[in-house]
Amino acid sequence: MSEDKPLHVRVAEALGCSPRFDGVVWCCTCRAGEHVGSEQYNTLSTSELNYYDTDWSATGPLIEKYQIGFYPAGLGTWAAEWRDGRYENGIGDSYSKAEDTPLLAVCNLILALKEAGKL
């Protein structure tokens, strides 16, 4: 994954999309509006990627699916957190990210989880 791609594109890639830039916006060939993991590719239609970094309706299902928690972390920052299902009494994996908005924190957490092989 390249750092020069917009955050929502990197999130889509983490979810299994293969986005491409059509000259104006980033698109994917999976079904319209569905860039949430298990994809059914339909090469007949291309749709613009969801803006996961600003669109609650796009990112809400990801928060639910991956059971991501988020909370105000003070000084204008929000933290997003994910805990392994086995997490108990501090034993097990947990990941967190802090950013300016809840969705930015969630998006960066999703990238971290992908990197860690936890998605």
* 8 versus 97: smaller Cβ distance to Zn ion: 8
Which stretch, 11-19, 78-86, 101-109, 110-118, contacts Zn ion (CB under 5 A)?
11-19
Beta-carbon neighbour count of residue 66 at 10 Å?
16
C-alpha 54/C-alpha 15 separation (Å) is 17
The footprint of Zn ion on residues 27-56 (CB under 5 A) is 28, 30, 35
* 30 versus 63: smaller Cβ distance to Zn ion: 30
**Which residue in the set 7, 11, 14, 17 belongs to the binding site for Zn ion (CB under 5 A)?**
17
Binding residues for Zn ion, how many (CB under 5 A)? 4
* 29 versus 101: smaller Cβ distance to Zn ion: 29
Beta-carbon neighbour count of residue 114 at 10 Å?
17
C-alpha 110/C-alpha 82 separation (Å) is 9
Alpha helices in 15-119 (DSSP H): 56-66, 102-115
DSSP 8-state assignment for residue 91: B
Residues that bind Zn ion (CB under 5 A): 17, 28, 30, 35
